[in-house]
Amino acid sequence: MIKRILTVGGYTLLSRVTGFFRDIMLAAVLGAGPEADAFFVALRLPNHFRAIFAEGAFNAAFVPAYARIREQSGPERAALFSSRIFALLLASQIVLLALALIFTPTVIDVLAPGFRAHPTRFSLAVDLTRITFPYLLLMTLVTLYGGILNALQRFAAAAAASIFLNLAMMATLAVAWAFPTPGHAAALGVLVSGVLQALLVGGDAWRVRALPKLSWPELDGDVRKFFRALGPATVGSMGVQLALFADTIIASFLPTGAISALYYADRINQLPIGVIGIAAGTVILPEMSRRLASGDRAGAAQAQNRTIEFTLLLAIPCLAAFFVIPDLIMRALFMRGAFTAADAAAAGRTLTAYGFGLLPFVLIRSAVATFFARGDTMTPVKAALIAAAVNIVFKILLMGPLAQVGLALATSIGAWINLGLVVFFAWRAGHAQIDEHLRLSAIKLAAAGLAMAVVLWLGYAPATRSFSTLAHGRDVVTLIVLASAGGAVYCAIVIALFGRAWLARFRAAART
């Protein structure tokens, strides 16, 4: 299982690395002004709907159902089920796309009402959204194909697909001079990437003869059970996305650059979430579904505990960096071209606020797997909706004094509420079986992370002075040196606390 997590995490890391190059180009070409704000709204809208209807709700309901049907009824029954779901999914997304293209100005009015006071920014947001929104239809297909592959223990293609988003956007940004604005170039790159991702993941499903066919969507028992799980999962995803919509709505009233600061900080925050949290959740869900379908409850609990332990091992160093050197991270990665030191400082403060919620961000996918694997999508909905309500209340309270930093901090508070409620509900239902090994590991990893934070804090000023004479790349070199020193200390303490036998077992697990 660790090997599969590393496979997904590795491709996700490659996606994030190419994403950083993409964002460097975006920062240099678009900066953090009104054109950038318009593009990021156009990018957020299909991604919000994607998170609601595709990755968020769909995977939670489809992957356990497909794995259960294949385990208990065989591959032919599973193929029929996926084909019927494919037909329903395609029809619903075509209708949604048509409505979105017709009513795009109204959608912008609702989700970014502050743009109406700036006609140029509003008009550009409408134009760019009409280019990017078809991306949702393509991503819905990618999610279906990826869900099938994940249930078959094939993770590489779906994990690698998002790399095409970065490559396509960089390609179009490189010829931005040929478009009306750089925002139009970036938006077209988003759409082109959707086509490429669908071909990649669909091609892998076709190679293993698992590509769904267009079949009349008969509502048999399996399909009805799927929709009974999909309904609550969709409501839960809507709750989470409602809080993110609130970010866009509120930030549209804040000074120019707030939306961009949120975007760039969230891009860094999404690195550990994607590489660690989502990778772990992607692997643990079909693993627990398969084990529970065969009656192996102890094995499912063991898999979840080891996944959480591994997630903490990789996430805690990121947490230390987000708290101690956020400004340096933003300057090193983005401060060039139209992206200024002031922009980096604003994004750095926002990153610290996101860092407060990093642990629940990376753990929530593994935590809710215990419910989704059992076909229970209702219980996580309760936690998600309560957390979303708390999140929105804190956004309203904090937007005035803290601007976009308050929005990020409210998101982190909501994440802690969500994780806490999921753990409580799992304990109450008898699903939470946290073993002593996980408890001790968490304490040891926290000690190692604290030591790394001290090293970063003590080394920041000397490292900055040492490289102050560099004309170019000073911040990049400083970040590399500090990250290397902090990482070495963290690894040394982890090995000292856990022992070489633990390291040998980890290496063996990574090879199997």
What single string gives the DSSP state of each residue in 111-164? H-GGGGGSHHHHHHHHHHHHHHTHHHHHHHHHHHHHHHHHHTT--HHHHHTTHH
- Angle, helices 2-30 vs 500-511, to 10°: value is 80
pLDDT at 51: 65
Grade residue 202 by pLDDT with cuts at 50, 70 and 90. Answer: very high
pLDDT tens, position by position, 329-379: 998 888 876 778 888 888 899 999 999 999 999 999 889 889 888 888 888
pLDDT tens, position by position, 497-508: 888 777 776 666
pLDDT at 221: 82
pLDDT at 493: 93
Question: Which letter does DSSP use for residue 54 in this model?
Answer: I
pLDDT at 479: 93
pLDDT tens, position by position, 13-46: 888 788 878 888 887 887 767 778 888 888 877 7
> What span, in angstroms and rounded, lies between the C-alpha atoms of 159 and 197?
10
pLDDT at 248: 67
Q: What are the residues whose beta carbons fall under 8 Å from the beta carbon of 15, sequence distance 6 or more?
A: 159, 160, 162, 163, 165, 166, 274
CA distances from 247 to 27, 242, 342, 360, 405 (A): 20, 9, 21, 19, 11
Q: Of 106-110, 150-154, 214-218, 504-508, give the lowest mean pLDDT range.
A: 504-508
Task: Work out the end-to-end distance of the chain between its first and last CA atoms, rounded to an integer number of angstroms.
Answer: 8
pLDDT at 280: 86
Between 172 and 512, the more confident residue is 172
Instruction: Report which residue type is found at 193.
Output: S
Going by C-alpha positions, the residue among 338, 332, 360 that lies closest to residue 475 is 332
**159 has pLDDT over 70:** yes
pLDDT at 244: 64
pLDDT at 236: 67
Backbone angles phi, psi at 375, to 5 degrees: 80, 10
Q: What are the residues whose beta carbons fall under 8 Å from the beta carbon of 72, sequence distance 6 or more?
A: 293
pLDDT at 22: 87
> What span, in angstroms and rounded, lies between the C-alpha atoms of 184 and 353?
31
Average pLDDT, the chain: 85
Instruction: Give the mean pLDDT of 436-446.
Output: 90
pLDDT tens, position by position, 210-252: 898 887 777 778 888 888 887 777 776 666 666 666 776 777 7
pLDDT at 348: 92
Instruction: Give the mean pLDDT of 128-145.
Output: 89
Taking the model in full, what pTM does it have? 0.75
Q: Which residue's structure tokens are 């084909």?
A: 83
**141 has pLDDT over 80:** yes
pLDDT at 53: 59
Instruction: Give the mean pLDDT of 63-84.
Output: 86
DSSP 401-415: HHTHHHHHHHHHHHH
Number of neighbouring beta carbons within 10 Å of residue 202: 20
Q: Of 129-133, 137-141, 448-452, 464-468, give the lowest mean pLDDT range.
A: 464-468
pLDDT tens, position by position, 283-333: 888 888 888 887 888 888 888 888 899 899 999 999 999 999 999 999 888
In the chain, what are the domain boundaries?
Answer: 2-434, 448-512
